[in-house]
């Protein structure tokens, strides 16, 4: 920070703005456009990048007006990315550093992680691009098919282990302390250095105006800290004069942070996470718990939770306004709905929900919701209409449809 403080906020703002939309290696990446703040000493030749970042900050006008009574509601689509989740932001930094270490002949044979499906997808893609072996520990039958096929296709060694994410995390920590395998989970701060650029990007996309609220779904809890760090650096280096209030949203079936928050930060108890449609945050013993608490306490933050029905309904509502979000973003939207209903978030507050993965990774749960295959769920289901292949039958369906729209 001392070195960065040699330049003022105006210098950094104009440097970052000058790199947007350019292809000059490596600054066209949203992460590497902030290279001086991320990993200053790395040689551009060592960087492994898929031009991640610069994701759409979507003005969710219809969702905001219709369901929240808000005119200034935005969704930061971090999931519209090379491997379909925000994990690309941190993984480009970690794999670049490993690439550099290997060129320096350091004993790093490969890179490994435990994953609920997104970290493994990002790790295997970036490693494959650089020709570095990757090893992923996945909880058997607990991640989506789309997520499972990503590391398989990218040539990773995929271990499908009969445990949950927390069990995989424990195993990979043991293994990486014995073997020359570099641990890629978010307890490694290189990951967070990349992920923090999403916060800087939000400020940049608002022409360096600070939103009132940023809502992030939380599992292993690296991302909420990364957002805090990005905002805080912008404040300390004079790019902006305040930071937003942060909200971390958890699934009620995997809510150790929420329970800790509700205890007044008195007692943290890791727990056995139950099955949730937000499967990527089915985590009971998050590695970054202390960092998350630090971020929330220093941003006047809040923790909320979402039941299975709430998160699936929120996802369906968002999709019905033209988005195609993942269940974890449904968790964050539920938090927003609750905080709007209780009046904590005001109708004029500029609010950003961070969308963390692409909806196409979670088509099974969406299909089940819309087909009415999930008992007790489907308030906003839109099932396909089965119709005979004749003109009259098709016309009958269309007439009913047009009449229903007229009402
Ligand atoms: C899609 C998605 N959303 C949210 C999260 C939560 O992020 P974090 O583990 O950094 O809290 C994860 C991973 O845990 C994820 O894969
Ligand atoms: N959702 C994550 C869980 C692991 O988180 P990490 O950020 O510590 O790697 C995943 O996709 O694996």
* pLDDT (tens digit per residue) in 68-112: 999 999 999 999 999 999 999 999 999 999 999 999 999 999 999
- C-alpha dihedral (186, 199, 345, 264), degrees to nearest 10: 30
Does ipTM exceed 0.90? yes
Write out pLDDT tens, residues 5-18.
999 999 999 999 99
Distance CA 135, CA 113 (A): 7
- Element holding 335 (H helix, E strand): helix 327-341
Please tell me the predicted confidence (pLDDT) of residue 269. Answer: 97
Tell me which residues have their CB closer than 6 angstroms to ligand 1.
Answer: 85, 116, 118, 186, 217-223, 280-281, 326, 328, 356-357
Q: State what percent of residues in the chain have pLDDT above 90.
A: 99
- Element holding 145 (H helix, E strand): helix 145-153
The strand pairing partners of 158, in sequence order, are: 136
Token pair for residue 406? 């007229």
Atom of ligand 1 nearest to the CA of 116: 16
Phi then psi for residue 397, to 5 deg, are -65, -45
Q: Which residues of 308-345 are buried (b: 16+ CB within 10 A; e: fewer)?
A: bbbbbbbbbbbbeeebbbbbbbbbbbbbbbbbbeeeeb
Mean pLDDT of the chain: 98
Closest residue to atom 11 of ligand 2, CA basis: 118
pTM, entire model = 0.98
Atom of ligand 1 nearest to the CA of 119: 16
DSSP assignment, residue 333?
H
Atom of ligand 1 nearest to the CA of 118: 16
Please tell me the predicted confidence (pLDDT) of residue 267. Answer: 92
CA of 112 to the centre of ligand 2 (A): 12
Distance CA 1, CA 246 (A): 23
Please tell me the predicted confidence (pLDDT) of residue 407. Answer: 67
The residues of the chain scoring below 70 in pLDDT are 407
Please tell me the predicted confidence (pLDDT) of residue 211. Answer: 98
Most informative mutation of 114, 144, 361 for ligand 2 (most atoms within 8 A of CB): 114
């Amino acid at each position: 920070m001392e070195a960065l403080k040699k330049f003022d906020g105006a210098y950094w703002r104009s440097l970052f703005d000058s790199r947007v939309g350019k292809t000059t290696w490596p600054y066209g990446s949203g992460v590497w456009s902030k290279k001086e703040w991320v990993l200053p000493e790395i040689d551009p030749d060592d960087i492994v990048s898929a031009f991640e970042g610069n994701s759409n900050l979507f003005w969710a006008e219809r969702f905001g007006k219709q369901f929240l009574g808000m005119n200034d509601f935005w969704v930061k689509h971090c999931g519209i990315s090379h491997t379909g989740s925000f994990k690309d932001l941190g993984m480009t930094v970690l794999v670049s550093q490993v690439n550099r270490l290997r060129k320096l002949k350091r004993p790093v044979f490969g890179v490994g992680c435990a994953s609920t499906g997104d970290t493994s997808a990002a790790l295997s893609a970036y490693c494959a691009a650089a020709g570095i072996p990757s090893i992923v520990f996945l909880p058997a039958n607990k991640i989506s098919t789309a997520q499972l096929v990503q590391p398989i296709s990218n040539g990773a060694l995929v271990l499908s282990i009969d445990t949950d994410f927390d069990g995989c995390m424990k195993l990979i920590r043991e293994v990486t302390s014995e073997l020359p395998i570099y641990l890629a989970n978010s307890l490694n701060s290189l990951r967070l250095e990349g992920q923090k650029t999403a916060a800087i990007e939000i400020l940049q996309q608002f022409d360096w105006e600070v939103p009132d609220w940023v809502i992030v779904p939380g599992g292993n809890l690296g991302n909420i800290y990364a957002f805090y760090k990005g905002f805080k650096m912008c404040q300390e280096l004079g790019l902006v004069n305040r930071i937003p209030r942060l909200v971390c949203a958890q699934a009620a079936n995997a809510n150790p942070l929420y329970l800790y928050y509700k205890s007044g930060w008195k007692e943290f108890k890791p727990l056995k996470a139950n099955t949730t449609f937000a499967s990527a945050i089915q985590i009971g013993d998050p590695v970054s718990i202390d960092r998350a608490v630090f971020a929330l306490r220093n941003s006047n933050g809040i923790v909320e939770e979402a039941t299975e029905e709430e998160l699936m309904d929120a996802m369906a509502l968002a999709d019905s306004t033209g988005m195609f979000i993942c269940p974890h973003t449904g968790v964050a939207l539920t938090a927003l709905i609750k905080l709007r209903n209780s009046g904590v978030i005001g109708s004029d507050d500029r609010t950003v929900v961070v969308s963390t993965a692409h909806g196409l990774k979670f088509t099974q749960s969406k299909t089940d919701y819309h087909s009415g295959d999930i008992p007790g769920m489907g308030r906003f289901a839109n099932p396909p209409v089965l119709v005979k292949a004749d003109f009259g039958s098709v016309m009958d369906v269309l007439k009913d449809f047009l009449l229903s729209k007229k009402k």
